[in-house]
Amino acid sequence: GERTLAMIKPDGIYGNFTDRIKQVILENGFFIVQELMVQLVVENATLFYSEHSAKSFFPNLVEYMTSGPVLAMVIEKTNGISEWRALIGPTDAGKARVSHPHSIRAMCGSSAQRNCVHGSDSALAAAREILFFFGDISAG
């Protein structure tokens, strides 16, 4: 299968959505390879989202991502990267609630920022993000 980085963001953790999100992951045929709950600090969140560093929402994004613990998971399935992106739904949780009512973001997100989950958007991003949280786990 193909591995991707799934993350439950602080609003998902505080809203007690962890078990429901994991249930969706497993019901959709993913294998959870590894998981790690961690409190990001500003330096971590800045690095993780560095591609967005010039955006107006970036300071708020870093504040949000450091507001509490996140749960990072390596999950695996055939076409896992796109399958997980499809399950989480559009970035803006408010819009997701209208256009993708069964998506995870419709279930637990509340805005364009507070969208409760993350998924790598490419193979390159998945490799980088898995390395970010877990180091080189492919070495076994």
Kindly list the residues in this chain that would bind ligand ATP in the complex (CB under 6 A).
52, 57, 61, 91, 112-113, 115, 118-119, 121
Residue 100 designated active-site: no
Tokens of 124: 């390159």
Beta-bridge mates of residue 38: 70
Residue 5 φ/ψ, nearest 5 degrees: -100, 115
- Residue closer to ligand ATP by CB (options 52, 102) is 52
State the nearest-atom distance from the C-beta of 140 to ligand ATP, in Å: 27
Residue of 18, 30, 37, 10 lying closest to 115 (CA atoms): 10
State the nearest-atom distance from the C-beta of 54 to ligand ATP, in Å: 13
* Structural element, H or E, at residue 36: strand 31-39
Binding-site entries for ATP: 9, 57, 85, 91, 105, 115
Residues involved in catalysis:
118
